[in-house]
Structure 1
Amino acid sequence: MFPLFDLSLKINGFPMKEAKAELRKIVSFSEKEYSAFLENKKVEIVNFHLQNNPFYQELVGSNSTDWDDLPVLNKRTLQKPLLERLSNGYSPKNSYVNKTSGSSGDPFIFAKDKYSHALTWASVIYRFGWYGIDFNRSYQARFYGIPMDFIGNKKERFKDFLGRRFRFSIFDLSDEILEGFLKHFQTKKFDYINGYTSSIVLFAKFLQKKNIVLKDICPSLKVCIVTSEMLYDEDQILLKLQFGIPIINEYGASELDLIAFQNPLGEWQVNSETLFVEILDDTNRAVPNGTSGRIVITSLFNKAHPFIRYDIGDIGLLDEKSTLKKLILKKLIGRTNDIAILPSGKKSPGLTFYYVTKSIIEDDGNVKEFIIKQTKIDTFEIEYVSENELTAIQIQKIEDAITVYLENGLNFSFNRKEKLKRNKNGKLMQFISLIKEIK
């Protein structure tokens, strides 16, 4: 089979051969060799941005450059036009540029240099390989959203073709639609499932009602990999029962890399090849393994844009048995999304609002934070913090997008706030359902 996936990365300028070689080298390090590698990379990436990135120079200022004294960044720190944050010599044309999902309520545009992004793919390919998945040959059942506009939709479908993926759009997860999903599994030889946790769990609940085990009707299935949202223990048990295959938990962030991935021993192994992960307290000091704190991450290779001591907005703790090279994420707190139940009976995961809120994510940093609350079956409230109030045109654009992705007849109110209320863990959820409907 022709390696279309590898070819597509090469055509887009990602040096995969070099990235895969570097990753293999890092993986082979002993603990002592890894310790030296990590300290060198931390010094190297900080010095690079201090010398080449005016935005980071200003953040650090004249303060000490000892690691523990470096500023801790977050999404709000980075909500400035991208051109003001890029390192010298980098531009949107010679970098990989994308938008965060906004699932935490803090959207922004980011960049990676192409070698750094190639390492991201090398890391993903390496870990999926633990379960016999080859992106050039394995066929993916993909539970993700997809743009509804013609050009965006066709572009995503073409990428699916190159990546050997069949996409199940997750904007409508009613029983009628899920019945259609089931027919595809009966007729296609999928090797693995990958996608948003809540959508895949809803499909499993549908199978449970029909007393169907997915592996029985699609024997080619090897593994299911869930991402983007919290996978609760009871849901993992449900998925394993109804799919009849191993269920693998992934934790990542588009602006960084794959952060942690469940290894064949069942441990949530941290990506220590391209990232340095710290668990910090409220004073920005590292806590002992086994103690919960803020997950703060450094991208060791990204020269286009500084992600140095970057607070991702989650709370977690590392296992006491962790080593420097093999960190084990024992627990992750947060990163859940609710399900929206609509008047028609349609069910849509909270991540649907990622596609809706693309309408208000602009590269001017105006909208700082937002929460979407479902207060009644047909009523939603959008609270947002911004420098300037949303215009009538922007609001209309959002309402049009909501009609496309959800359905007609929904009521929305827009309330600009000085500050948004966070949960007890400091997490700002993008979507919150306040209704008592069965999910």
Structure 2
Amino acid sequence: MFNLFNLTLKLNGFPVEKAKAEFDTILKIPEEQYPNFIENKKNEIVAYHLKYNPYYRNLVGKSTFENWNDLPVLTKKDLQQPLQERLSKGYTEKTVFINKTSGSSGDPFVFAKDKEAHAITWASIIYRFGWYGVDFNKSYQARFYGIPLDFIGYRKERLKDILSKRFRFPIFDLSDKILEEILSKFKTSKFDYINGYTSSIVLFGKYLKERNIVLTDICPTLKVCMVTSEMLFDEDKVLLEKYLGIPIVNEYGASELDLIAFQNTDGYWQINAETLFVEILNDNNQPVPNGTEGKIVITSLFNKAHPFIRYEIGDIGVLDEKSTSKKPILKKLIGRTNDVAILPSGKKSPGLTFYYVTKSIIEDDGNVKEFIIRQTKIDSFEIDYVSSVALTLEQIQEIEKAIAKYLEPNLHFTYNRKEILKRTKRGKLKQFESLL
């Protein structure tokens, strides 16, 4: 078999074979030796950046460190400086892999990985997808992602799709007409798996439900679906499993790092402890016990070109009590730290709570396809929604009653029925947003 995917990485200067061998060695480290491996990698990467990265040394304020918890926690704001200033000595913009974050957290920035670090990221992704029989060199992917709309960007992504054995469905317009075209493509293509943004795949699942179609009946080669980048709610997972006819796997990643957690075959969100070190910290940047929620803070153990050391990704989560050093489990991902609603009573509530409560009422009859919630004032919210018919007064009263019960009373809502919802440049749907 011609391994086009591996060849493409190699031609771009990524040492795939070497990275895969190193990754396999890490996998073989026994559980009892794993805490040692992690400690050594943490110390090694910090020592490297303190020696070779003036930008990081300046952030730390000295060239040595004694205590891990004394190291600064970096945010995206800390890293919004010209890339050239952030690179370690010996690396230039020509010799590294450069990309930019999607900006879904409101703080996009350009980042770099050295080629070895990028290759080991791919080794980690290939390994995890392999749990479900997906082989990047052979398996054909149906991809629900955004795509740049400028001519060069568009052509570049389309070429990447061909080289990576995937067919992309752009997701900026998911009207019934477009969903019908997507369905036709599944009828004539031997897709092995689906990968893409949760909200778009859920919308396609609802389209299938309305027509009482199970996707594997028309595309029997499908094995699995990986959803990413947005929250997957339990009832949506049930819907997708029923109407796609395949297992739904939840992934959580960040372009500047790697896959952070990936649902394993036992159904747990297994954290990537091979290339990353994940901590849960309180507001004073101190570690919290497993089972307690806090900020997710991540160290990239292999990236020498650019420091991602104790990097606060902007999400809140909980590590499972049964986590081990080799196999940490993410018990819960609560949402982004900047998507918190502040209410008149002073109560703070994750914005997704609003979304969740509203969702439980608004989607009962399948009329509402999608919606987003915006907080415009301390007591005022707007709900934009796409539906076949407008919400009734009864439904609106039900929503407001439920929100008063779960959150607090006397909040004001405006409802805007839309043809389509505005997504980010990458095609993500921001389910809740605070404009305060």
Q: TM-score, normalised by structure 1?
A: 0.78
Matches within 5 A, 1:18-417: 18-62=18-62, 64-334=65-335
Which amino acid counterpart does residue 229 of structure 1 have in structure 2? E
Residue 150 (structure 1) shift: 1.2
TM superposition shift of 1:334: 1.1
Q: Which residue of 2 aligns with 1:358?
A: none
8 A contact 2:371–2:384 mirrored in 1: no
> Relative to 1, partners in 2 of residues 1:376 and 1:319: Cα closer, same or farther, differing over 3 Å?
closer
2:18 aligned partner, one-letter code: E
Report the secondary structure of 2:297's partner residue.
strand
Partner of 2:391: none
Shift in Å at residue 374 of structure 1?
Answer: 7.4
- The verdict on how the C-alpha distance between 1:113 and 1:407 changes in structure 2, with shifts beyond 3 A counting, is farther
- CA–CA distance in structure 2, aligned partners of residues 307 and 57 of structure 1: 13
Partner of 2:375: none
Cα distance in 1, alignment partners of residues 108 and 14 from structure 2: 25
Deviations 1:358-379 (A, max 9, x none): xxxxxxxxxxxxxxx978789x
- State the distance in 2 between where 1:92 and 1:277 align: 28
Distance in 2 separating the partners of 1:433 and 1:67:
34
C-alpha change, 1:208 and 1:98, in structure 2 (3 Å) is: same
Deviation at 1:36, TM superposition (A): 1.5
CA offsets 1:381-400 (integer angstroms, 9 cap, x no match): xxxxxxxxxxxxxxxxxxxx
State the secondary structure of the residue aligned to 1:92. Answer: coil
**Contact kept? 2:27, 2:274, Cα under 8 Å:** yes
How many pairs were matched up? 360
Matches of 2:280 and 2:329, distance apart in 1: 12
C-alpha displacement of 1:407: 10
The answer to whether the 8 Å contact 1:190/1:220 transfers is: yes
Once the two structures are superposed, what CA deviation does each residue of 1:55-99 show, in whole Å capped at 9, x if it has no partner?
101100038541010000010111111111111111111000000
Once residues 287 and 374 of structure 1 are traced to their aligned partners in structure 2, the CA distance between those partners, rounded to angstroms, is 35
Specify the code of the residue in structure 2 equivalent to 1:130: W
Structure 2 CA distance, aligned partners of 1:268 and 1:253? 15
CA offsets 1:335-377 (integer angstroms, 9 cap, x no match): 5999xxxxxxxx8998xxxxxxxxxxxxxxxxxxxxxx97878
| 5+ residue gaps, structure 1 | 339-346, 351-372, 379-405, 411-428, 435-439
Contact 1:119 1:274 in 2 (8 A): yes
In structure 2, what is the Cα distance between the partners aligned to 1:125 and 1:105? 29
Residues 293/228 of structure 1: CA separation in 2 closer, same or farther (3 Å cut): same
Q: 1:74 to 1:24 in 2, by over 3 A?
A: same
Q: Is the 8 A contact 2:371 2:431 kept in 1?
A: no
Q: Distance in 2 between matches of 1:28 and 1:12?
A: 28
Instruction: Report SS of the residue matched to 2:35.
Output: helix
Task: Give 3-state SS (helix, strand or coil) of 1:273's partner.
Answer: coil
Shift of 1:172: 0.3
Map of 1:396 onto structure 2:
none
Higher relative contact order (CA 8 A, sep 6+): 1
Q: Distance in 2 between matches of 1:297 and 1:349?
A: 31
Give the AA of the match of 2:188: T
Q: 1:329 to 1:376 in 2, by over 3 A?
A: closer
For 2:314, give the aligned amino acid.
Answer: G
Match of 2:390 in 1: none
Letter in structure 1 aligned against 2:243: Q
Contact 1:102–1:430 (CA under 8 A) maintained in structure 2: no
Q: Is the 8 A contact 1:374 1:432 kept in 2?
A: no
Deviation of the 1:34 alpha carbon: 1.5
> By how many angstroms is 1:33 displaced?
2.1
1:2 matched to 2:5: no
Structure 1 CA distance for aligned equivalents of residues 371 and 199 of structure 2? 6
User: Which residue identity does 2:119 align to in structure 1?
Assistant: A
CA distance in structure 2 between the partners assigned to 1:321 and 1:104 by the alignment? 30
SS of 1:194's equivalent in the other structure is strand
Specify the code of the residue in structure 1 equivalent to 2:308.
Answer: F
> CA–CA distance in 2 between the matches of 1:376 and 1:29?
50
Closer/same/farther in 2, CA of residues 212 and 433 from structure 1, 3 Å limit = farther
Secondary structure in structure 2 of the residue aligned to 1:131: coil
**Residue 77 of structure 1 aligns to a residue in which SS?**
helix
Match for 1:55: what amino acid?
Y
Deviation at 1:32, TM superposition (A): 2.2
CA contact (8 A) 1:140 1:190 kept: yes
Query: Does the 8 Å CA contact 2:371/2:385 hold for their aligned counterparts?
Result: no
Structure 2: segments with no counterpart, 5+ residues: 340-351, 356-368, 373-380, 387-417, 423-428
Structure 1 residues 430 and 110: alpha-carbon distance in aligned structure 2, compared to 1, 3 A threshold: farther
One-letter amino acid of the structure 1 residue matched with residue 180 of structure 2: E
Asked if the contact 1:226/1:249 (under 8 Å) is kept, the reply is: yes
- Secondary structure, in 3 states, of the residue corresponding to 2:21? helix
Letter of the aligned partner of 2:162 in structure 1?
A: F
CA separation of 1:201/1:430 partners in 2, compared to 1, >3 Å: closer, same or farther?
A: closer
Identity %: 67
- Distance in 1 of aligned mates of 2:259 and 2:13: 20
SS at 1:286 equivalent: coil
Q: Secondary structure at the match of 2:116?
A: helix
User: Aligned residue for 2:364?
Assistant: none
